Amino acid sequence: MKPLALLVPDALTATAVPVQAENSWVKALESLEVFGVPVGMLAIPAIPLVFIAVYALYVGVYGERKISAFIQDRIGPNETGKWGLLQTIADILKLIQKEDIVPAAADKPLFVLGPLIIFVGAFAAFAVLPFSSEFIGADLNVGVFYAVSIVSVEAVGILMCGWGSNNKWSLFGAVRSVAQVVSYEIPASIAILVGVMMAGSLSMQKIVMSQSGELGILHFAVFQSPVAWLAMIIYFIAALAECNRAPFDIPEAESELVSGYFTEYGGMKFAMIFLAEYASMFMTSVILSVLFLGGWNSPLPNIGGVALNDWTSGPVWGAFWIILKGFFFVIVMMWVRWTFPRFRVDQLMYLCWKVLTPIALLIFVFAAVWELYVR
């Protein structure tokens, strides 16, 4: 009998042939110094930051526009540059040029700090995302726990935005948002715990490594337990709610609350909130793929002599796979957004507390029993 994995976090890793994550790129960067200035230490956070910016520009905004255009039988941006590729750059330039307005009646410190805190909350979680076997900002032994908790800081930022705006609609949006984010953290965390329990570790790299093997996709956690896929779906739904994405976008509910907590924002402050939304979409998608879909592991199996898995593994391939998996879920989120109408605030709470949380708890218990006695 295995000991309950949660209580002894690093005791066991589940499956065969763990690929060693050396984090060698990070280590190399850490020691890089130019004239005593730790350039490498600055580069480590800069890489995800640049990644977010590029991703938000091209997959986030441009991709969302093109995807929504495809879904809605439109063309989408096509005038600015080839296939409209420069459209998002033009938008950014416009946002930068805008006057930085703070409403006269607003609570200025809160109003200015709100977007920053939202962005920092979303960005800080990127520290523990394993982009490859050799690159992770900080390989914490409580990585998942850190990601879950740092994202909660966003709720504070949202409340600051809503209160600081001194607008009743913004306040409504903020209050709704905080209630939503706090509530949905519970099913999300329980679903995450299912994944953590299966891997036997809270460290992102260890979770990923526990899912590697020659059979590729068959080693992924989602196929290791009969309830893992349910946990994955619950986490995905909760992630939609935590990112304030449709159909749970009631905090910003365009047609009801105008734009919710960021009604009064414009220019770069607005861009910051916007960027944070896309950043947290990618972040939750990556956490989902780390927990249940093997992170940076290749999904391709070795079939006899055709060693597809070996050929598609390695640090660079790892980065490719995790970004691909992350983008896949980001695109699913966009697809969901452009298909479904919006929940009402009480229906949202009903779904969280009376449907998702009980199911998640049942799955949790079942998964624990499965891990102890079957697997």
Query: Pairing mode, if any, of strands 135-136 and 130-132?
Result: antiparallel
| Among 32, 217, 258, 268, contact with another protein (rule: CB under 8 A) | 258
| 25 scored as a contact of another protein (CB under 8 A) | no
75 binds another protein (CB under 8 A): no
CB-based contacts of 57: which residues, under 8 Å, 6+ apart? 88, 89, 92
Q: Alpha carbon of 92 to those of 27, 67, 111: distances in Å?
A: 34, 20, 21
Stretch touching another protein by CB under 8 A, among 76-84, 246-254, 283-291, 361-369: 246-254
| Contact flag: residue 30 with another protein (CB under 8 A) | no
105 sits near another protein (criterion: CB under 8 A): no
Which among 30-38, 265-273, 281-289, 340-348 is the span making contact with another protein, rule CB under 8 A? Answer: 340-348
Instruction: Extract the tokens encoding 208.
Output: 């990923």
293-332 in b/e burial notation, b at 16+ Cβ within 10 A? bbbbbbbbbbeeeeeebeebbbbebbbebbbebbbebbbe
Q: In this structure, which amino acid lies at residue 251? A: P
Assess 149 for contact with another protein (CB under 8 A).
no
Stretch that binds another protein, among 20-28, 36-44, 312-320, 345-353 (CB under 8 A): 345-353
How many residues bind another protein (CB under 8 A)? The answer is 29
Residue indicated by tokens 């997959």: 59
- Residue 166 touching another protein (CB under 8 A): no
70 near another protein, judged by CB under 8 A: no
Nearer to another protein by Cβ, of 43 and 233: the residue is 233
Residues 292 and 363: beta-carbon distance below 8 Å: no
Three-state DSSP string of 235-274: HHHHHHHHCCCCCCCCCCCCCCCCCHHHCCCCHHHHHHHH
Interface characters, 318-337, with another protein (x: CB under 8 A):
--------------------
Exposed/middle/buried for residue 233 (C-beta within 10 Å: 0-12, 13-18, 19+): middle
Q: Which residues ranging from 167 to 186 are in contact with another protein (CB under 8 A)?
A: 168-169, 172
Q: Is 246 in the site for another protein (CB under 8 A)?
A: yes
Strands 306-307 and 135-136: unpaired
How far, in Å, are 45, 119, 127, 248, 262 from residue 123 at the CA level? 9, 6, 8, 22, 19
Residue 354: CB minimum distance to another protein, A? 9
CB of 152 closer than 8 Å to CB of 124: no
129 touches another protein by CB under 8 A: no
* 77 makes contact with another protein (CB under 8 A): no
Q: Does the protein bind another protein through residue 10 (CB under 8 A)? A: no
Site string for another protein, 349-368 (x = CB under 8 A): -x------------------
Name which of 21 and 246 has its Cβ closer to another protein: 246
Which two structure tokens, joined as six digits, stand for 277?
């939304």
Q: Is 340 in the site for another protein (CB under 8 A)?
A: yes
Smallest separation, CB 175 to another protein (Å):
9
Q: Which residues bind another protein (CB under 8 A)?
A: 68, 71-74, 168-169, 172, 246-247, 249-250, 253-258, 338-347, 350
